[in-house]
Each structure stands twice: as structure tokens, then as C-alpha cells.
Amino acid sequence: MANPLEYVTAHPKETKRMLGISYQDLQQFIGQAEQRHQDIQSQKEQTETRLIAKGGGRKASLSHAEQIVLTLTYLRQHLTFQMLGLLFDVSESTATTSLMIGYLFFTIYFQKVSSLSFKIGTVTGPLPRKSWNSTN
């Protein structure tokens, strides 16, 4: 199964249908998210005392671009976390965590983005929760 980010990179004309935004808007959004993340990280490094050496710690399973595409896929296709995990080759819990990080990209970093042609808005209410019934 192809990773959705790899698929839209190989087939840019399918991006609008799959994710609800054009390929150009997706690339712009990813670039702005990565730039904003770097800005926040550099601000943190100036104010906080580092306990772990730079580059240490657990590496992320998904890149920022993949987290954004995972979030857009979830919002557009309404897939379960199990299916998102299969699509992105990660566990259900990683898919859930990546979705929360993707929501942060939308709500914190881009609340007032007017340069993109689509409206993101803000996420209201709690994130979807997994049912803990024994039947699932």
C-alpha cells in the first residue's frame, strides 16, 4: 500500500480529491509548518536549559509533512486509526499521536493564515477517542 504523501507527490492532480486542497497549497502549507516549527524550536533553545544533547531522544516515526497529510486524510476520508496506521505504516497509537500533532499544526501555527486559498479554522471540542469496549 502506498503512503498517501508518496502518492500525492507522484500524482499531484489527485491531491485535491484525496485531501481537499490543491498540491500547491499542500506544499505551501508543509513549507510554512516546517518553517514555523524551526522558529519555535530556536526560540525554545534560547530560553530553556537543555538536559539531553541536541539530536538525542526518540526520533519521530512520521515527518511533519506526513503528519499533515495524515491529518488531512483523516479529516477528508474519516478513516479509523487502524486504517491510518496501515496507510502510513505506523501503529494505531502513533497515528493517534500524529493526528494530535497535525491538529496542533492547524490550530496553533496557522490560525490566521490568509495566504492559503483554503480555510483551516480552529478545531473545537475533544479529539475523537478510541472506544475501550471489549468488542473492539
Q: Measured at the alpha carbon of residue 122, what is the angle toward residues 84 and 15, in degrees to the nearest 5? A: 45
pLDDT class of 23 with cuts at 50, 70, 90: very high
Residues 6+ apart with CB under 8 A from 53: none
pTM above 0.75, yes or no: no
Q: How confident is the model at residue 111 (pLDDT cuts 50, 70, 90)?
A: low
Question: Residue 126's pLDDT is what?
Answer: 46
Number of helical H runs and strand E runs in the chain = 6, 0
**What pLDDT was estimated at residue 13?**
93
Please give the span between the terminal C-alpha atoms of the chain, in angstroms, as a whole number.
Answer: 24
Instruction: Dump pLDDT digits (tens) for 34-87.
Output: 888 888 888 888 887 777 777 777 788 888 899 889 988 998 888 999 999 999
